[in-house]
Amino acid sequence: MKKVSEKKVILANNFPSVIVLMLGILPFNLFAEQQTLSDNIILKGEFIQGGIVIGQTSPGSQIAYDKQLIRVSPQGSFVIGFNRDEPKTVKLKIVTLDGEIISKVLDVKKREYQIQRIDGLEKSKVSPRKPEVLARIRKEGVQAAQARKLDDERVDYLETFIWPTKGRISGVYGSQRVLNGKPRRPHFGVDVAAPTGTDVVAPASGVITLAHPDMFFSGGTLILDHGHGLSSTFLHLSKLLVKPGDRVKQGDLIARVGATGRVTGAHLDWRMNLFKRRVDPQLLVPPMVLSN
């Protein structure tokens, strides 16, 4: 394996181990902020770039988020999220069945992102030029985008997420990437280093919307939809154990870690999207606790 130079600074890894142990037994939403907009409208989550916020309103409400109508479950739950570079404020408007109108400007905290340098990648994977390769990349991009368009009524996103695999965190959300010395798109996943063949389980229940054995950049790739447009993507897999349309429960074995696609070593790259918005999976799970 080639040398990977990257910063491994993670909030969670800087906590004293006693605190990590304490936090490990508490739900993630200990960190979550709660905003009460009215008697029956509550928002809970991380109001920060990359954050995900779960809302509860009265059944039958209509919601516009960032000027788009979004799905509200029959019980009144909904999900909103913030991009890596989300502007400082986003508008939320809720109209309840009784005609109550709540207009709220949400403040989104700005984040500082790391710079991650990775050297030793295959040149053809960093600067692909061949027309047939470029066509393949475009086609695969369309397939992934299609899978992430699904707006399903399931509310699997209400579960408390678990880590899909355990290991050293070797890459974090949002990092500005320099690959073989060339600035590239930011990294949107959390990377967990683990040997090829390690189990990957569903972090929350959902339906498989894409299972591709070998994409150009991401190798073996799965997309798991958690409802209302929130999805998980798993990259660089060596083996896929599910197929599109499969309904999986939280904790079900869905794949094995690998080193396929553009990588320098075996790891799981777990990404999350709210439709096109890239959100940070690490904000949904407790700090990684490794038992030796």
Q: Where on the chain is the footprint of Zn ion (CB under 5 A)?
A: 171, 189, 191, 269
Per the CB < 8 A criterion, the answer to whether 259 and 237 are in contact is: no
| 83 versus 233: smaller Cβ distance to Zn ion | 233
Residue whose entry in the numeric block shows the structure tokens 């189990």: 199
| 6 versus 269: smaller Cβ distance to Zn ion | 269
Minimum Å gap between C-beta 189 and Zn ion is 5
Minimum Å gap between C-beta 41 and Zn ion is 36
Instruction: Return phi, psi of residue 30, to 5°.
Output: -55, -35
| 46 versus 269: smaller Cβ distance to Zn ion | 269
Q: Rounded CA gap, 292 and 46, in Å? A: 31
Minimum Å gap between C-beta 222 and Zn ion is 14
Q: Rounded CA gap, 192 and 163, in Å? A: 10
- Number of neighbours of residue 171 by Cβ within 10 angstroms: 22
Minimum Å gap between C-beta 184 and Zn ion is 12
- Number of neighbours of residue 282 by Cβ within 10 angstroms: 23
Per the CB < 8 A criterion, the answer to whether 52 and 284 are in contact is: yes
Helix (H) or strand (E) holding 20: helix 17-24
| 148 versus 228: smaller Cβ distance to Zn ion | 148
| 62 versus 176: smaller Cβ distance to Zn ion | 176
Residue 227: closest CA among 280, 161, 284, 152: 152
How far CA 206 is from CA of 210, 227, 235, in Å, comes to 12, 7, 17
| 95 versus 128: smaller Cβ distance to Zn ion | 128
Minimum Å gap between C-beta 187 and Zn ion is 5
How far CA 239 is from CA of 118, 171, 209, 252, in Å, comes to 25, 22, 16, 15
Residue 191: closest CA among 7, 2, 52, 1: 7
Minimum Å gap between C-beta 145 and Zn ion is 19
Minimum Å gap between C-beta 171 and Zn ion is 5
| 45 versus 167: smaller Cβ distance to Zn ion | 167
